[in-house]
């Protein structure tokens, strides 16, 4: 799967099978996206590659640790490595060659009043407690060493 920002400066690819997307409706995602939510997937770092444009990325970090990485030319959010983990967060609006469905909605209890969440998929009031299990529901990592 390949992704590119609005201006084309930042490009990346992911080499793992993505089986479902999640949508986060929290207030940070509302402000970051300027909309209802972020639609994303979390993939193992070993499957993620920058194609070009690392020098065009800047970021903002909140005191709580929330980090937003974005293209300093066009402002598109771009992938970022989740702190202290071996996973990358992938904003799916940048990806054009993936047609899997949203299977999880998270932070539903803090959604915008005008956000109508699709009925499909699992709904979580907050962040899922078991993050490893949550991540593995959305990707199918190929066995290595074959
Ligand atoms: Zn850009
Ligand atoms: Zn969120």
Domains and CATH numbers, the chain: 2-140 (2.170.150.70)
Residue 74 and residue 53 in contact, taking contact as beta carbons nearer than 8 Å:
no
Determine the Cα–Cα distance for residues 20 and 26; give it in Å rounded to an integer. Answer: 19
Q: Summarize pLDDT for 31-90 with one digit per residue, the tens.
A: 999 999 999 999 999 999 999 999 999 999 999 888 999 999 999 999 999 888 899 999
pLDDT in tens, 135-144: 888 998 655 4
Cα 85 to ligand 2 centroid, rounded to whole Å: 18
pLDDT at 18 over 50: yes
User: How far does the centroid of ligand 2 lie from the alpha carbon of residue 17, in Å?
Assistant: 23
Ligand 1 centroid to Cα of residue 36, in Å, is: 22
């Amino acid at each position: 799967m390949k992704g590119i920002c609005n201006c084309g400066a930042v490009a990346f690819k992911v080499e793992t099978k993505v089986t479902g997307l999640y949508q986060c409706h929290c207030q940070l995602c509302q402000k970051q996206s300027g909309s209802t939510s972020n639609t994303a997937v979390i993939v193992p770092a070993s499957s993620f590659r920058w194609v070009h444009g690392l020098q065009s990325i800047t970021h903002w970090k909140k005191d709580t640790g929330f980090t937003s990485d974005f293209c300093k030319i066009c402002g598109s959010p771009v992938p970022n490595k989740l702190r202290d983990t071996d996973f990358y967060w992938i904003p799916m609006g940048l990806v054009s060659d993936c047609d899997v469905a949203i299977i999880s909605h998270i932070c539903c209890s803090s959604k915008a009043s005008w956000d109508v969440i699709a009925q499909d998929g699992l709904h979580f009031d907050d962040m899922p407690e078991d993050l490893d299990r949550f991540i593995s529901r959305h990707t199918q990592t190929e066995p290595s060493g074959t």
